[in-house]
Amino acid sequence: MTVEKYLDTNIPVLYIVAKSFNEKGSIYYRLKNRLEIRSVPEVLELLRPDGMQIVLLDNKETYEEYAPYKEVKELREFINLVGNTKLN
């Protein structure tokens, strides 16, 4: 997962999405700043279990294959959910 293209632009909204291949739907967290854009994907790749996909999206409505989406408002909770594979 490369985040460099997002660091050099002024994208107003960027989401990190976690999807288990065995479940319908996904969870997402809205990244709030450049530090999160750079570090959160790297952390999640280290925690990501087999069978889970982590993607960055600038418009989640465009990607119906990840719907329905469940928002996670706190970064710590999102990281814990991904690490424990309890997505829904």
> pLDDT digits over 21-35, tens only?
888 999 999 999 888
Q: Which residues lie closer than 8 Å to 55 by C-beta, 6 or more apart?
A: 1, 16, 17, 19, 63, 66
Q: Can you give the pTM of this predicted structure?
A: 0.81
pLDDT digits (tens, 9 = 90+) for 8-63: 556 568 999 999 988 899 999 999 988 898 899 999 998 888 999 999 998 888 89
Q: For residues 17 and 23, give the distance between their C-alpha atoms in angstroms, rounded to a whole number.
A: 14
DSSP 3-state of 36: helix
